[in-house]
Chains A and B, each alone.
Chain A
Amino acid sequence: MIQYPVRIASLARRFPKRSLDTLEPPFSHHQDIERLRQFWGVDSRHVIDERAGESELSLAEEAARQAMALADVRPGDIDMVLASMTTPVVGREARTGAPGWFAPRVSWFLARRLGLGDVVTSDVEVACASFLVQLQIASNAIRAGRARHVLICATERMSAILDYRSRTALPFGDGAICAVLTRESEPGYGMIESVYFSDPTHFELASVEWRDGAGENGGGEPRFTMAEDGDHALADFVPSAIPRAVERLCEKAQITLADVDSFVFHQPSHFLHESWVRRLKIPEGRCLCNVRTLGSLVSAALPMALHDSLQAGVVRPGNRLLLAGIGVGWAYGAQLWKVNGIAIENGLSAEN
Chain B
Amino acid sequence: MTRITGAAVVRPDSVREGVFAADWATQAAEDACRQGGIAGSDLDLIVTLSVSPSHLAVKPEHIGPRYGYIVQKRLANSKAFVLDLMDSDWTFALDQASLFASFQAFRRVLILRAECLTGVGGDFGRAFADGAAALLLDVGETPAAPRYAFLSPEPLLTMQQASGAPHDRTVMDWHGNEPASAPAIAAEFWRNPASVKVIESWAPAPDAGSWAGRPSGEAIVFEIPDALQRLRRNKADHDMTVTLISLDPFKARLGRTEVTL
Residues of A within 8 A of B (CB): 1, 86, 88-89, 92, 97, 99-105, 108, 112, 118, 120-127, 133, 136-137, 139-141, 143-146, 194, 196-201, 203-204, 207-211, 217, 219-220, 222, 327-331, 333
In contact, A136 and B100 (Cβ under 8 angstroms): yes
The residue that B84 contacts in the complex, of A125, A136, A196, with Cβ under 8 A, is: A125
Q: What is the bound-complex CA distance between A80 and B250, given in angstroms?
A: 16
Q: Taking A123-B87, A203-B73 as contacts, is the C-beta distance between A102 and B61 under 8 angstroms?
A: no
In contact, A122 and B99 (Cβ under 8 angstroms): no
Across-interface contacts of A121 in B (CB, < 8 A) = 251
Across-interface contacts of A194 in B (CB, < 8 A) = 104
In contact, B51 and A102 (Cβ under 8 angstroms): yes
Q: What is the bound-complex CA distance between A329 and B83, given in angstroms?
A: 10
- Tell me the smallest distance from the CB of B212 to a CB of chain A, in Å: 24
In contact, A331 and B83 (Cβ under 8 angstroms): yes
In contact, A196 and B104 (Cβ under 8 angstroms): yes
Chain A's interface: helix, strand, loop or mixed, by majority? Answer: mixed
Q: What is the bound-complex CA distance between A112 and B152, given in angstroms?
A: 12
Q: Taking A122-B85, A196-B81, A200-B73 as contacts, is the C-beta distance between A1 and B142 under 8 angstroms?
A: yes
Q: What is the bound-complex CA distance between A183 and B83, given in angstroms?
A: 25
The residue that B82 contacts in the complex, of A101, A123, A222, A331, with Cβ under 8 A, is: A331
- Which of chain A's residues has its CB closest to B44's CB? A196
- Which of chain A's residues has its CB closest to B73's CB? A200
Interface size class of B (residues with CB under 8 A): 35 or more
In contact, B63 and A207 (Cβ under 8 angstroms): yes
Residues of B within 8 A of A (CB): 46, 51, 53-54, 57-66, 68-70, 72-73, 78, 80-88, 92, 95-96, 99-100, 102-104, 141-143, 145, 148-150, 153, 155, 157-164, 169-170, 250-251, 253
Q: 25 interchain pairs (CB within 8 A)?
A: A1-B142, A88-B53, A99-B160, A99-B163, A100-B160, A102-B87, A102-B159, A103-B51, A104-B87, A108-B155, A120-B92, A126-B84, A140-B100, A141-B99, A144-B99, A198-B68, A198-B72, A200-B70, A200-B72, A203-B73, A208-B64, A210-B54, A222-B63, A327-B65, A329-B68
- Tell me the smallest distance from the CB of B251 to a CB of chain A, in Å: 6
Q: Taking A118-B150, A198-B80, A331-B83 as contacts, is the C-beta distance between A102 and B53 under 8 angstroms?
A: yes
In contact, B142 and A209 (Cβ under 8 angstroms): no
In contact, A103 and B99 (Cβ under 8 angstroms): no
In contact, A220 and B53 (Cβ under 8 angstroms): no
Across-interface contacts of A112 in B (CB, < 8 A) = 153
In contact, A197 and B81 (Cβ under 8 angstroms): yes
The 4 closest A-B pairs by CB, nearest first: A200-B69, A329-B65, A196-B81, A103-B87
In contact, B250 and A209 (Cβ under 8 angstroms): no
Q: What is the bound-complex CA distance between A104 and B253, given in angstroms?
A: 12
Across-interface contacts of A104 in B (CB, < 8 A) = 87, 155, 158, 250-251
In contact, A99 and B162 (Cβ under 8 angstroms): yes
In contact, A220 and B169 (Cβ under 8 angstroms): yes
- Tell me the smallest distance from the CB of A313 to a CB of chain B, in Å: 31
Q: What is the bound-complex CA distance between A144 and B143, given in angstroms?
A: 9
In contact, B83 and A133 (Cβ under 8 angstroms): yes
In contact, B65 and A203 (Cβ under 8 angstroms): yes
- Which of chain A's residues has its CB closest to B153's CB? A112
In contact, B69 and A210 (Cβ under 8 angstroms): no
Across-interface contacts of B87 in A (CB, < 8 A) = 102-105, 123
- Tell me the smallest distance from the CB of A172 to a CB of chain B, in Å: 15
Across-interface contacts of A208 in B (CB, < 8 A) = 63-64
Q: Taking A88-B64, A208-B64, A209-B62 as contacts, is the C-beta distance between A329 and B69 under 8 angstroms?
A: yes
In contact, A108 and B251 (Cβ under 8 angstroms): yes
Across-interface contacts of A141 in B (CB, < 8 A) = 99
Across-interface contacts of A108 in B (CB, < 8 A) = 155, 250-251
Q: What is the bound-complex CA distance between A211 and B59, given in angstroms?
A: 12
Q: Taking A102-B159, A194-B104 as contacts, is the C-beta distance between A328 and B251 under 8 angstroms?
A: no
Q: What is the bound-complex CA distance between A102 and B69, given in angstroms?
A: 21
In contact, B81 and A331 (Cβ under 8 angstroms): yes
- Tell me the smallest distance from the CB of B168 to a CB of chain A, in Å: 10
Q: Taking A120-B92, A200-B69 as contacts, is the C-beta distance between A209 and B160 under 8 angstroms?
A: no
Across-interface contacts of A88 in B (CB, < 8 A) = 53, 63-64
Q: What is the bound-complex CA distance between A211 and B61, given in angstroms?
A: 7
In contact, B63 and A198 (Cβ under 8 angstroms): no
In contact, B61 and A124 (Cβ under 8 angstroms): no
